Amino acid sequence: MTARFQISAGGVVFRRTGEGGVEVALIATPGGRWALPKGLVEKGESLESTALREVQEETGLEAEIVGRLDPIEYWYWWQEEGQKVRHHKKVYFFLMAYRSGDVADHDFEVEDVRWFPIDEAIQKASYPLERQVLQRVRERLLGSGEG
């Protein structure tokens, strides 16, 4: 069995609403899965540069990094040259403040991009580890909401 290790970087792009809330941008990948924008780190590229590039390509948004989030790790299978290959992926996420751009300007790899209120984004995200990332972002930007 073949296994490969991959390092990716991406971002949670947020903007504040007039009502004191927070919205975040999610991408819809083929198959209708909602996810955070991310991609592979290219040779010689920093994690921060990768995250900003991938966010811009996949969402059409320009953003500024305001903090680093905890990375996530997972395993998945992918078919390569007729053989099942196991991948171990580590993804470094950054908290990013929206600066400009339009979600309609996303690239061809993405089916749709939308802004969601943070609580809805947590529910909408297809992957449990990304839901955890979004929950930590919510706590960081709005507090725990308990009390």
Rounded distance, CA 73 to CA 89, Å? 6
Mean pLDDT throughout 106-111?
A: 92
pTM of the model: 0.91
Could you tell me which of 22, 59, 7, 31 has the C-alpha nearest to residue 135? 22
Cα 56 → chain centroid: 11
Look at residue 18 in the predicted model and tell me its pLDDT.
86
Amino acid type, 135:
Q
Give the confidence band of 1 by pLDDT, cuts at 50, 70, 90. low
| CATH number for domain 2-142, candidates 3.30.70.120, 3.40.50.150, 3.90.550.10, 3.90.79.10 | 3.90.79.10
In the chain, where are the structural domains located? 2-142
Mean pLDDT throughout 18-37?
A: 94
